[in-house]
Structure 1
């Protein structure tokens, strides 16, 4: 475990794969025992950024997920970037630090060539010096803190942009749904009109059939009249009446 007496509000930082610490640096021995309590509780099912409070300290971490990487680099999805700070520092500087830490670490240990799951404890100890320098630069200097704030602000703007895009997509889907509802209503109206027209058509066809039946009955009666009349001597039916 690397340590330093350099005064910085960043008390401890580490990078771990699941609960295996790959690299770390601490400026406070009281904070170095906390990661072993926090790391086993972190899930990598989805990307996450969280802050825990422990006394006067904040434990901030960024957890990656396999969904952020192609299958060949999935082990990078199990990485956690963690920093413990004095609570008075707030959250923007620590998360700005974590963003910078993630960029530097993945630059030195490319996911395309590193299987983080196969590394032993402190398997990235060569990064300890870089980690220490980042903690001092971004925690103890005004310029470093401003840089961390800018990184955090950039992250906020990126999230805001994603949220805006999602809202636009939701609104667009809302318009599509509204169009679909309108089409469904129109189909319902057309169906009702069709039923009305069908009932009217059935009624007209029924009357037409009735008229045809009446006409057919009249024709049959007339034919019977003629047939019987010829036998009885039309037009007076004289032969039948004499009987």
Structure 2
């Protein structure tokens, strides 16, 4: 299944990411850093790598938000992801991020980015997010260029990507979720059984009370 593989956040003042996350193994970070050095301020761009992968970035207010995805992954959804990460980054760090150094936000923000990758990779409703709608409209006019056009001679890197580790992690996560749902349903059914039993006992008690002529049970003595 086509998915987002890697993402980073970086300041215009540094070519080292403030935070990054990968959900696969490979050398794509090297190519992402080469692209990062060529980012134009206050712009968005998309680059294709051999019809296999796409790199998308959005630069705004001194920061670049970049992601790499399979070529079959929706470009629109990729930009929705970038705008979502951007909003969460500004919300969490605000102006403090302007003085941050390389990887200083990784500890606090990488887990958030990973959660957003998992959401955009797995939830069909992600494409319906209403956030940054104006920005999304602007991305419709972005031309997709071949990545070779922005890389100088000798900069091209043969991309190596392995999703095996991520798939294994996803399988474990799904099993944990299944167990959690099963446990939740068991408790729900157990509570319902107890509630029904209590109601039945109460009804039987009042039936006996009526049959015996009242709470003192005069007819049943």
In the superposition, the TM-score normalised over structure 2's length comes to 0.55
- C-alpha distance in 2, partners of 1:54/1:152? 27
Aligned counterpart in structure 2 of residue 34 of structure 1, from 31, 35, 38: 31
Give the total of aligned pairs.
Answer: 135
Cα deviations across residues 153-191 of structure 1 (Å, max 9, x unaligned)? 54345789xxxxxxxxxxxxxxxxxxxxxxxxxxxxxxx
Could you tell me which residue of structure 2 aligns to residue 83 of structure 1?
67
Q: From the two aligned structures, give the one with the greater helix fraction.
A: 1
Does residue 11 of the first structure (1) align with residue 24 of the second (2)? no
1:13/1:85 CA distance change after superposition, 3 Å:
same
Q: What is the DSSP-based 3-state SS (H/G/I as helix, E as strand, rest coil) of the residue aligned with 1:20? A: coil
Determine which structure has greater relative contact order: mean sequence separation of CA pairs < 8 Å that are 6+ residues apart, divided by chain length. Answer: 2
Q: Which protein is bigger by CA-based radius of gyration?
A: 1
Could you tell me which residue of structure 2 aligns to residue 143 of structure 1?
125
5+ long unaligned stretches in structure 1: 1-6, 65-76, 161-243
1:141/1:41 CA distance change after superposition, 3 Å:
same
1:23/1:115 CA distance change after superposition, 3 Å:
closer
5+ long unaligned stretches in structure 2: 141-221
- C-alpha distance in 2, partners of 1:17/1:59? 18
Does residue 129 of the first structure (1) align with residue 111 of the second (2)? yes
